[in-house]
Amino acid sequence: MPTSICPECDEEVYVDAESEQGDTVTCEECGAGLVVVGLDPIELDLKDEDDDDDYGEDKDYDGYGYDDDRY
């Protein structure tokens, strides 16, 4: 099984031998979604879209509470 280096954590990532350019793989080390961008040698790049666990991280900070101090 061919391997490449994860751009996120620099660990070896196993890539399916039949992968083609544009295929996605997941780094088993850090869980990053990676895209096959080159085949000879195999090169991986981070996927732009974050489709797993980023939901709601900014929601805690919404400005509530400011008005109360004015009275």
| Residues near Zn ion, by CB under 5 A | 6, 8-9, 27, 29-30, 32
Residue with smaller CB distance to Zn ion, 21 or 28 = 28
Shortest Cβ 3–Zn ion spacing (Å): 12
Residue with smaller CB distance to Zn ion, 8 or 23 = 8
Residue with smaller CB distance to Zn ion, 9 or 21 = 9
DSSP code string of the chain: --EEE-TTT--EEE--TT--TT-EEE-TTT--EEEEEEETTEEEEE-SS--SS-TTTTTT-S-TTTGGGG-
